[in-house]
Amino acid sequence: MAANSAESPFQIVVLSGPSGSGKTTIVERLIREAPVRLVKSVSATTRSPRVGETPGESYYFLSQEEFQTRLANDEFLETAEVYSGLWYGTLKSEVDRARLLGGWSFLEIDVQGALRVMDLYPEAITIFVKPPSMEVCEQRLRARKTDSDAIIQQRLAKVQHELSFADRYRHQVVNDTLDHAIQEILGILDSYR
Ligand code: 5GP
């Protein structure tokens, strides 16, 4: 549905959830079905593109040097070393882009980045998506078939850590079934219009 900026003042929406929480599918559907226009922030990252990812759409894939230069130029709202040696960050220009388009800026970022955004924008709508269980989480990670076993183990360890921050978010949603999680988040977004 198209946003009516007169009725829906600008908001920043932050969605986090551990790997395997089912976040990616949720994000795609929210963008299609939300009662306001959600403009997904395209993050910068120093990791390599995965098969099927498009530079400038999935991420801005930057070298370590480019990332550091942009950081030094104060171009980032937040950055985090999400995995050892791999940096991710939200460019301030991405939030401006959403504002200019008359939509809400939609950030799908990790817990460290979200805590930083909460400090900068205490009014941000923050949503944490939880997997129904660790078993389901592991199954989902394996089903993606994009990551090696070592990476999956690394990601599972991070899941446990991230879950301990869930209560810092304004809203927590369990992704037991996709439709249920989507409906709950749509209801949350609707309540801020
Ligand atoms: P992936 O490499 O699987 O695409 O993403 C890994 C993690 O990085 C996800 O948990 C995602 O939320 C996080 N992430 C993606 N973009 C950003 C960002 O701009 N900032 C922060 N802090 N985390 C991000």
pLDDT, residue 181, reads 96
Residue 82 CA: which ligand 1 atom is closest?
Answer: 8
pLDDT, residue 7, reads 61
Is 105 a pocket residue for ligand 1 (Cβ < 6 Å)? no
Q: Which residues contact 39 (CB under 8 A, 6 or more apart)?
A: 97, 98, 101, 103, 104, 105, 106
Sheet holding 44-45, edge to edge: 60-61, 44-45, 86-91, 76-83
Rounded distance from Cα 7 to ligand 1 centre (Å): 31
The predicted-structure confidence for 57-70, as pLDDT tens digits, reads as follows 999 999 999 999 99
Q: Structure tokens of 164?
A: 């301990």
Rounded distance from Cα 43 to ligand 1 centre (Å): 8
What's the number of domains the chain is made of? Answer: 1
Please report, rounded to a whole number, the percentage of residues in the chain having pLDDT higher than 70: 96
What is the domain-level CATH number for residue 117? 3.40.50.300
Q: Structure tokens of 148?
A: 């090696």
Rounded distance from Cα 24 to ligand 1 centre (Å): 11
| Domain range for 57 | 5-191
Is 138 a pocket residue for ligand 1 (Cβ < 6 Å)? no
pTM summary value? 0.91
The predicted-structure confidence for 35-55, as pLDDT tens digits, reads as follows 999 999 999 999 999 999 999
